[in-house]
A and B are shown apart, each in its own frame.
Chain A
């Protein structure tokens, strides 16, 4: 038995089987969520590479799997990543029936997680680009349902595909730089190729237009899953690349580029948000804002930056989950997600409206909420490095909070005096549970920090 077979091969095989069973929603959801929970539990309990004694049984899971001369490696340092991905998947699949996700979502979602893990595990890195493109391709049926507009899906496909050549060329160039003495002419080219490749993948400014468009056109629950997982997978690949090559870490262009890209993402996403009237589009901008802050964390190139990145990950995923679930509940009840459509929604859908308000202000970094403990040290450190960048980030953040204020006004404005709760009790319980978790992440950040620090232990050179 080897780890990649268990955490990549098995879910891929099961996802194919689930596609055949997709009409039996409860079974499919149960199997997908159960398998994800089992794989997360195994990643937590079973040491990879060393023997585990279970009574008379001696279980050993080797970390590598060789296919056609290429290696997939999942060792002890990847355990936190595996737990995060599969736990996230399990929670998402469990909520799928209530959120009205399509029948084939658990099957495709499971395959998507397995491919993201494969992209993380493959050696050499070159192949990750192609595996990630396969993940993008299999996600398309979730995004473009027959009879719906799909211009956002097309743009998503185009921008993600355009990353492939740049990443493959960067991987090839990195091999040349490694083989030649330092100062070789290839370094600049590799940095540029890598930058462009990741800019397409991460929807960095100005390649970000597909994100709000896709969020507007596709089901919010699917968008939350996809745009929650995909950037995390890409970020971890970028960190792996940075961690592997000393000449890349030492290049000043990398830190400057990350800082500039991150600040531009926060600024543009925040300012654009202030003028949006559709909360589904705002959801897309919120994800861009989070990606921008993640890039700023990495740009610090210190152990503080890596700790902040890890600490921000759990609140980020919880926020995306809550936001997408709240939007899905409102849409399921026939409400448009525009400010006009949500006018007075607080009196009819108080839990979903409160969830939206909480998560909006939380992503905006308001004190006592989940993102504040990770934003504050980041802004402090950034201010010591570059005041213009800090100012740009704060302007973006302010714009985002202005959008939150506009939404709050729309939610509470109503001519009716009576309250009439119209949400299903199960939806309310799910939303309240997610709100509680998000609230706790703001009140007790240390608990969540300890749980997430293991995620970045693997990047020994970046810490």
Chain B
């Protein structure tokens, strides 16, 4: 437990790195791997306020969501993307991170919770929103939404310990993953037509 608290900043760095990997729009295996690692860091941050058993729910739900999303990826062909597109998203992510860095102390002062939790939560929310807003692809859009919700869950976990809210949020996360898989499949059948 001491390790988890002392090295919480490591979880924030993990969250930032995985969010940037998600923005690179690599193939779906890398994307879902990054999502899995991101949920590990999310559970780490949540465990600063919640018992480890309850925080592990976030990890399990995230990994199951990733597994559900992966079921829709069989046979999906990804068009090669120019480097400029990726560079643009990384620069945009950098700008979002700067804004978060500036806002985080005020948010921490307002919410009165751990700095790592605020920073990690805001990075997930900010970069998740960026991901969602810069794509038309169902998989990437849902991955962005999952990141955004994970960021909120990190902050909300520090404010309120409610098993029912955690359970319902888990259902919503899994529902989002199912929706992403369905929409991806529907989009694929459109392209096939």
Contacts and interface: CB of A to CB of B under 8 A. Distances in A.
A144 B136 contact: no
A150 interface: yes
B138 A165 contact: no
Task: Provide the main secondary structure of the chain A interface.
Answer: helix
B91 interface: no
Interface stretch (A97-105, A130-138, A283-291, A432-440): A130-138
B165 interface: yes
B141 A147 contact: no
B190 A146 contact: yes
Q: Which 8 A/B pairs are nearest by Cβ-Cβ distance?
A: A165-B152, A137-B175, A130-B168, A146-B189, A146-B186, A144-B186, A147-B190, A147-B189
Interface stretch (B30-38, B53-61, B156-164): B156-164
B187 interface: yes
B178 A150 contact: no
A421 to B, nearest CB: 34
A131 B168 CA distance: 8
A169 B175 contact: no
B168 to A, nearest CB: 4
19 contacts: A68-B164, A69-B164, A127-B165, A130-B165, A130-B168, A130-B171, A134-B172, A137-B175, A140-B182, A140-B183, A144-B182, A146-B185, A147-B193, A154-B183, A161-B149, A161-B176, A162-B148, A165-B152, A169-B159
A161 B145 contact: yes
Interface of B: 110, 125, 132, 136, 138, 141-142, 145, 148-149, 152, 156, 159-160, 163-165, 167-169, 171-172, 175-176, 178-179, 182-183, 185-187, 189-190, 193
Interface core residue of A68, A149, A154 (most chain B CB under 10 Å): A154
Given A130-B172, A165-B156, A168-B165, 10 more contacts: A133-B175, A137-B172, A137-B179, A147-B193, A148-B190, A150-B190, A151-B136, A157-B179, A157-B183, A172-B159
Contacts of B182: 140-141, 144
B184 to A, nearest CB: 10
Contacts of A154: 136, 138, 141, 183
A26 interface: no
Task: Provide the main secondary structure of the chain B interface.
Answer: helix
Contacts of A157: 141-142, 145, 176, 179, 183
Given A146-B185, A147-B190, A172 B175 contact: no
Contacts of B110: 189
A321 interface: no
Interface in A217-261: none
B183 to A, nearest CB: 6
A70 interface: yes
Nearest to B144: A158
A27 B133 CA distance: 43
Contact of B175 (A127, A134, A146): A134
A131 B136 CA distance: 26
Given A148-B186, A151-B136, A164-B149, A169 B172 contact: no
A93 to B, nearest CB: 23
A133 B152 CA distance: 15
A146 B184 CA distance: 10
Contacts of A51: none
A153 interface: yes
B192 to A, nearest CB: 8
Contacts of A162: 148
Nearest to B178: A137
A147 to B, nearest CB: 5
A126 B165 contact: yes
Contacts of A126: 165
A172 B160 contact: yes
Interface core residue of B142, B168, B176, B183 (most chain A CB under 10 Å): B168
A158 B141 contact: yes
Interface string A30-43: 00000000000000
A150 B175 contact: no
B164 A127 contact: yes
A75 to B, nearest CB: 22
Contacts of A133: 172, 175
A154 B141 CA distance: 8
Nearest to A173: B159
Contacts of B136: 151, 154
A251 B172 CA distance: 32
A191 to B, nearest CB: 15
A59 interface: no
B31 to A, nearest CB: 17
B173 to A, nearest CB: 10
A137 B176 contact: yes
Contacts of A387: none
Contacts of A130: 165, 168-169, 171-172
Contact of B187 (A69, A131, A150): A150
Contact of B145 (A70, A149, A158, A189): A158
